[in-house]
Amino acid sequence: MKYPEPPPKQPSWLSLAQATFNLQVNRWDTQHCGGGLRWQIFPFNKGYDYKNTISNGGFFQLAARLARYTGNDTYAEWADKTWDWMHTTPLFTDNYAIYDGIKIENCSNPYPIQWTYNVGTFLMGAANMYNYVSGAAMSS
């Protein structure tokens, strides 16, 4: 889109996105439910024990968009990892029903509400991956 960049001494839009990505990578939690991101950053916030689809879907989308923009495979790997983890949970069924989240106290019991934006974020991320993969295939 070539949206105007911030002034030279400020971080670029891309580096802001990369910083967000890097911070989120640090928060990937393998100790509960085999992976995924929590809804909250700080333990004292309500919902810290909730791993929800929008947090992981947002990360998936961010990783996919960074992969497409930069061509860097590290981002694509994290998108794949997030996709795969979602499928190990009851949040993303084989019929592509996408549910809202799981509490770490019971990883197999999803909060079974379906929201437009949860499907939307995975759709957008997948489109970016589709574009990234087919673009890579076309150039090789």
Partner 1 sequence: MQKLLDATDIFFPTEFGGVIMVEVACEPQGTCNNDQPSFKAYLARWMAATAQIAPFTEPIIMKKLRESARGAAKQCSGGPQGRTCGRKWTDSVWDGRTGVGEEMSALSVIQANLIQKVPPPLTANTGGVSKSDPSAGTGGDDPVMLEPLLTRRITSGDRAGAGILTAVTLGGLLATIYWISF
Task: Kindly determine how many residues on this chain lie close enough to bind partner 1 according to the rule CB under 8 A.
Answer: 46
Q: What's the rounded Cα separation, in Å, for the pair 40 and 74?
A: 24
Amino acid making up residue 35: G
Amino acid making up residue 84: D
By CB under 8 A, tell whether 87 contacts partner 1: no
**Helix, strand, or coil (residue 45):** coil
- Residue 88 or 130: which CB sits closer to partner 1? 130
Residue 32 CB burial class (10 angstroms; 0-12, 13-18, ≥19): middle
By CB under 8 A, tell whether 133 contacts partner 1: no
By CB under 8 A, tell whether 71 contacts partner 1: yes
Rule CB under 8 A: choose which of 7, 30, 31, 42 binds partner 1.
42
Rule CB under 8 A: choose which of 30, 44, 108, 140 binds partner 1.
44
Q: Where are the alpha helices (DSSP H) in 27-115?
A: 53-70, 73-88
- Residues of this chain that interact with partner 1 (CB under 8 A) are 1-2, 5, 11-16, 18-23, 26-27, 41-44, 65, 68-72, 96-98, 113-117, 119-124, 126-128, 130-131
